[in-house]
Amino acid sequence: MKPESAVSRAWQAGLIPAGLLVLAAWMAYGGSLSGPFFFDDLAAIVDNPTIRHLGSLSQVLSPPATEGSSAAGRPLVNLSLALNFAWGGLDVRGYHATNLAIHVLAALALFGITRRTMARPGETMSAGGTSGSPTVLGFIVALLWMLHPLQTESVTFVIQRTESLMGLLYLLTLYGFIRYVDGTAFGATTWAGFSLTACLLGMATKEVMVSAPVLVFLYDRTFVSGSFRTAWMRHRRYYAGLAATWLVLGVIVVHAGGSRAGAAGFGLGVSSWSYALTQCRALLLYLQLAFWPHPLVVDYGIDVARHPSEVVLQAVVLLLLLMGTVVALWRRPALGFLGAWFFAILAPSSSIVPLVTQTMAEHRMYLSLAAVIALVVCGGHAVLTGSGRDRGELYAGMGRGYLAILLALSGGLGFLTARRNGDYRSVRAIWSDTVAKRPTNARAHSNLGSALEADGRIEEAVAQYEEALRLNPDYTETHNNLGNVLSGLPGRSGDAIAEFQAALRLKPDSAAVHFNLGNLWLRTPGRLNDAIAEYEAAVRLQPDHVAAHNNLGGALSGQPGRLNDAIIQYEAVLRLKPDFAEAHLNLGNLWSKVPGRQNDAVAQYETALRLKPDFAEAHLNLAIILLDQFGLRNEAEAHLRAALKIQPTNTAARQILDEIRVAPP
């Protein structure tokens, strides 16, 4: 018998497969690290003040229930975003790199689970016995799962970290359990604690984690203990700990008021019946995309099925699959486990609890896809190669042809993933792609309009907004966006006001609409009081609206007797965003008008310059107060020269500097 080579030992130990998984992930996703924030990223990351204060964990772990924020009610996700912000601010590359690292770790965890399950004596996941190397089978399952294009939304769309991070913790919960039941006394205790900790953290990541304790119990019965009774008797203390993690999820859900940021829950405009009907269509679509990942769409809209006749075929197929899963759980437990894995993980988002902002979404297949791939790989292996060969060799019993087909398939999937990631290269690109694939999606047209507006293509943006309103006349956000664009066009202020008023009729409590209408009134002669009223409504409805506080401060500073009110607004801005240089300048300007507060004004100007050294206006205003209030000519002259270096045409700085030169010392 020939001794094993070092390469063979490294392969069987999992070192080479792990390295290949990391390399393959980089090849598929390495070009996507510069994709911009968009869509739900804005509310959850860009406009989320709690991720900016890592030092205040109470804030970080209590993300606001801002409309559209996927971080709401998910403290661990918000903590991960706060860590990214602490490392690199809003540099999107750090967020993408973290998402990719999470995905790779999840693939490694799946590799470990599949490999160890294949190596267990008796029945295997193929439900028909397998003689293939557990390491090879585990590697192929993890590779195909990791490179599948259906995963791009969960990895490349930054805030869908909610799904991938939960998926990682779900897999680690199961992996920890497997190591627990296979370990020695000391090792078993450590791995049990690891599994329970992963489950606890998962509950603080996303609600889908609710099914993890059930699936671990089912895994125990299927692959370890042989029956539910034996599983409970052997590991009841462990299961008591798993069940206790549901309390964490319960507290989070109750704290959120039973719904999540107006996006999920009952009483939000979509009935449980209509949502359940829609999920018949969604689940069959997910299965189709698992086998044929085209077309992939980042936003399927909010359409719902209203009558069973719309989804009768999908409902029949789905019912048969569910019945097959139930039967297999007793007759072919491993096959039943895969079916249960698929349905149980999708159940929280694809059952009767409406997710009104997204009735279908590809990221929901992140974990469930593993069951489909495991079934294809292991089932195909069992059919094509049979069983009974020696599993000790590297490719034992697998058949080189079948292995070559699977590796070629993984290469093709990796290519499609890299190509799909190209659609995320810009905000305009991803929404153009979505509009092309879902032309009746009003939200996609509206978001494409926003992207075109940001690129300065105003006429095209207006056309997209108008198409969105044709498809959905009650689309508040689009009325607001169209009003915003029209307010900047000559002679269109009346049309803009009409759009804002239409938006407020639909949604009177929209802080964004009040803010934008306030901006329009601020630019309109004689309407300053109206502007102030709109800004006050915006900050009342959304107390953390930085721009509304800032603009309200500016509007109040122009009103007689409202200086103190303006100061209060700027102080609110700086509590929310301490690095806002312009707000420090504005507050300095106000303090300079208050007797005895000139030192405070100087401090604000100096802070503004520390945050923004090329801030010409701050240099000028600081020079003026140093000269007029403190008589510091040299210091004032230095700031005036700095202002002129930044802004050579600054006539005020030039004039004051000339006066200093001719004035006697």
Mean pLDDT of 489-500: 96
Tell me, what's the pLDDT at 270? 79
Q: What is the largest CA-CA distance in the chain?
A: 104
Distance CA 365, CA 358 (A): 14
Q: Where are the alpha helices (DSSP H) in 183-223?
A: 185-203, 212-219
Mean pLDDT of 365-381: 93
The domain total for the chain is 1
Structure tokens that stand for 437 in this block: 């694939």
Q: Residue 51's closest CA among 94, 103, 105?
A: 94
Query: Would you place residue 399 in the very low, low, confident or very high pLDDT band (cuts 50, 70, 90)?
Result: low
Query: In this predicted model, which residue has the larger pLDDT, 383 or 38?
Result: 38
Q: 3-class SS at 414? A: helix
* Per-residue pLDDT at 439 exceeds 50: yes
Mean pLDDT of 462-486: 97
| Residue 501 domain-assigned (yes or no) | no
Query: Would you place residue 50 in the very low, low, confident or very high pLDDT band (cuts 50, 70, 90)?
Result: very high
* Per-residue pLDDT at 442 exceeds 90: yes
Query: What's the pLDDT tens digit per position in 111-167?
Result: 999 999 998 876 444 433 333 588 999 999 999 999 999 999 999 999 999 999 999
Residue with tokens 């503004």: 608
Q: What is the mean pLDDT of the chain?
A: 91
Query: What's the pLDDT tens digit per position in 542-577?
Result: 998 999 999 999 999 988 999 999 999 999 999 999
Q: Which domain holds residue 255?
A: 6-422
Do the Cβ atoms of 198 and 176 come closer than 8 Å?
A: yes
CA distances from 441 to 297, 363, 379, 644 (A): 11, 18, 39, 51
Identity of the residue numbered 449: G
CA 307 to chain centre: 32
Mean pLDDT of 367-388: 82
Query: What's the pLDDT tens digit per position in 285-344?
Result: 999 999 999 999 999 998 889 899 999 999 999 999 999 999 999 999 999 999 999 999
Q: How many CB atoms lie within 10 A of CB 7?
A: 11
| Residue 322 domain-assigned (yes or no) | yes
Tell me, what's the pLDDT at 125? 43
**Which residues lie below 8 Å from residue 120, measured CB to CB, with a gap of 6+?**
223, 224
Tell me, what's the pLDDT at 131? 38
* Per-residue pLDDT at 268 exceeds 60: no
Q: Residue 347's closest CA among 465, 252, 207?
A: 207
Tell me, what's the pLDDT at 381? 78
Dihedral, 152, 16, 134, 218 alpha carbons, nearest 10:
-50
Q: How many CB atoms lie within 10 A of CB 102?
A: 21
Tell me, what's the pLDDT at 625? 96
| Residue 236 domain-assigned (yes or no) | yes
CA distances from 43 to 7, 37, 70, 268, 431 (A): 49, 10, 8, 20, 18
* Per-residue pLDDT at 392 exceeds 80: no
Query: Would you place residue 393 in the very low, low, confident or very high pLDDT band (cuts 50, 70, 90)?
Result: very low
| Residue 617 domain-assigned (yes or no) | no
274, with CB counted inside 10 A (0-12, 13-18, 19+), is middle
Query: What's the pLDDT tens digit per position in 522-538?
Result: 999 999 999 999 999 99
